[in-house]
Structure 1
Amino acid sequence: MHEPVPATGRQFEITSGAARAVVTEVGAALRVFEVDGVPYAESFDADRLPPGGAGGVLVPWPNRVAGGRWLFDGEPQQLALTEPARQNAIHGLLRHTAWTLVEHAESTVVLHAMVPAQPGWPVPLLTSIGYALDEDGLTVTHTVENLGARAVPFGVGVHPYPRAGNAETDDCTLRLAAATVLPVDADRLLPVRPPRGLQGDEVDFRTGRRLAGVLLDTAFGGATPAPGDGLVRHSLTDPNGRGVQLWADPVFKWVQVYTAGEFPGRGRAIAIEPMTCPPDALNSGVDLLVLQPGEDWIGHWGLKPF
């Protein structure tokens, strides 16, 4: 008989000096990231599905598709409604897929997965994700390759829950490099108007806001690098000024922020989700990436304790 396998499959541990991370086989999710035993991402039990999408890789689209319906070259597509309560398709097609291990060294692990042509998704893609630890923290590299015969739009996102060490979430300050917010309806969390500027807005986190009493399931746009910098940088800081930075390539123009009320074993937690496009982009076309046949795309993000 085979040994029992956890719900999230095999666990791939990587280390570099005092840094340690664990990545799951199912979903290729980041399950642990810590330095000197101090956590900088929320963790979860290997034998349960990731709570609140924790660590998920969101390919070939992040966030929601209204009714799971979209048009590809004028052809109607119908995705499975993976958010049935809101009648949406959510977070792509690979969160519950067993990814294939490509490389596993002391400080790096690389996995890949196939997105086959299927109902609602007509063009096959090959995607990979690499996690690497060094003295600066964790770097994550995504690739997507078009294996089909037609150009295809797509988006990429990821669903980490950063944490500022052992500080309580409500005691921490959130800063976002985002200049707009996307208005959505209350029932289905789908866009109802174009993004609006944050000047004087209560959801403006550009200069930092303490998270006590803050409830978010909100898409922010206009995320750009600071002058002279090549990366988008968001951060979560404890009352002593220490914490974790989530950085990303400029192609990650969007960030979804979600405050979870009851993350298992933690209580209040916060997801900071870099995305290349906003909710329902397969319908709006806003900031969709396009791959020609045989082309590939590469993007990076990471977590840096400070």
Structure 2
Amino acid sequence: MHPTGEQIDLVAGPNRAVVTEVGAGMRALDVDGLARVETFDVDTTPPMGAGGVLVPWPNRIAGAAYTWRGREHRLEVTEAARGNAIHGLLRRRPWRVVERAEDSVRLAADVDASAGWPGPLHVETTYAVSPTGLAVTHALTNTGGDDVPAGVGTHPYLRVGDAAPADCTLTVAADRIVDTDERMIPTAVRPVGPDEDLRGGRRVGDLALDTCFGAAAGPDGVLGVLTAPGGRSTALWGDAAFGWVMVFTPDDLAGRGRAVAVEPMTCPADAANSGTDLRVIAPGETWTVSWGIRAEDEK
């Protein structure tokens, strides 16, 4: 058995994705014959969160503790160096295949209240490959009797085929930036400064970011675009719920050099404490959000 469980291949014409049973993650995506995300070997675990689904919170919760409706809750410390809980509860757990077709798959998992979350959530994630790219939908249903807070994020690293990410240009539709303390916990949100603004595009090799931005996507919902020399591009889009984007540019991803993650999030780090854009799901309610990746190559 592979560390990420069964590998689920999805195909639509020339486009292909690989989804993993463990974590319901995205291990590969090829559109128009080009790799559009960083992949990893089938016999390894996802490096630096690659392709992960981050539920019921993205990013970090300070000190792995928060208060909900007057009651303190504690989570497992999963970022030991900073003492935080990071990236939710489901990215290392097996998911169940609920429905499967040649070009799509729907997987399900459950957030148990005993894991430190205020109430139970049934989570379904659907991947669908199309002629233009990949669409991903997350549906969170409150199966308990009380309101439950939630946030959603994902962790794709973008690519444009064989082009070295360091040589590509990154554009991010964001007009605000989040300042953080030494634990990577937000202290303020402010307008981007001239040297921080990615709306005009910056070379990835010139960036050193592990930074959250407030999204300012246009009508097309595009949050970030990675463009290779020559003009071929990979775009990440999200619906209106994805009001935040984490940009992470590690120097080396599993021995392959510089990489760039563009992570759509419905709330910023520590939303369980701050309440910023934290979604409250009523008993019996289902909250649905969507995002995806597509080719935007110059013809």
Tell me the TM-score range normalised by the shorter chain: over 0.9
Quick check: 1:238 aligned with 2:234? no
Q: Secondary structure at the match of 2:245?
A: strand
Mapped to 1, the partners of 2:132 and 2:226 lie a distance apart of 16
Post-superposition CA distance 1:187-238 (Å, at most 9, x none): 311112x2110142x11101111112311000001x1332xx1524310001
2:287 to 286, 297, 302: 297
The aligned residue for residue 189 of structure 1 is: 184
Quick check: 1:287 aligned with 2:277? yes
Q: How does 1:1-306 map to 2 (within 5 A)?
A: 5-185=1-181, 187-192=182-187, 194-200=188-194, 202-221=195-214, 223-226=215-218, 229-306=219-296
Conserved? CA contact 1:180–1:196, under 8 Å: yes
Mapped to 1, the partners of 2:76 and 2:70 lie a distance apart of 19
Task: Tell me the CA shift for residue 304 of structure 1.
Answer: 0.5
Q: Greater CA deviation, 32-41 or 138-147?
A: 32-41
Task: Tell me the CA shift for residue 119 of structure 1.
Answer: 4.1
Conserved? CA contact 1:115–1:125, under 8 Å: yes
Mapped to 2, the partners of 1:143 and 1:260 lie a distance apart of 30
Conserved? CA contact 1:232–1:250, under 8 Å: no
Structure 1 residue runs of 5 or longer lacking an equivalent are none
Task: Tell me the CA shift for residue 48 of structure 1.
Answer: 1.4
Cα RMSD (Å)? 1.1
Give me the TM-score of the superposition, normalised by structure 1. 0.94
Identity of aligned residues (%): 50
Runs (4+) of structure 1 exceeding 3 A deviation are none
Q: Secondary structure at the match of 1:118?
A: helix
Give me the TM-score of the superposition, normalised by structure 2. 0.96
Post-superposition CA distance 1:273-305 (Å, at most 9, x none): 000000101000001111000000111100001
Amino acid at match of 2:109: A
Amino acid at match of 2:183: R
Task: Tell me the CA shift for residue 117 of structure 1.
Answer: 1.0
Q: Secondary structure at the match of 2:106?
A: strand
Mapped to 2, the partners of 1:303 and 1:225 lie a distance apart of 14
Post-superposition CA distance 1:94-113 (Å, at most 9, x none): 01010000112110011010
Conserved? CA contact 1:128–1:143, under 8 Å: yes
Conserved? CA contact 1:230–1:250, under 8 Å: no
Task: Tell me the CA shift for residue 256 of structure 1.
Answer: 0.4
The verdict on how the C-alpha distance between 1:199 and 1:215 changes in structure 2, with shifts beyond 3 A counting, is closer
Q: Secondary structure at the match of 1:67?
A: helix
Mapped to 2, the partners of 1:122 and 1:287 lie a distance apart of 17
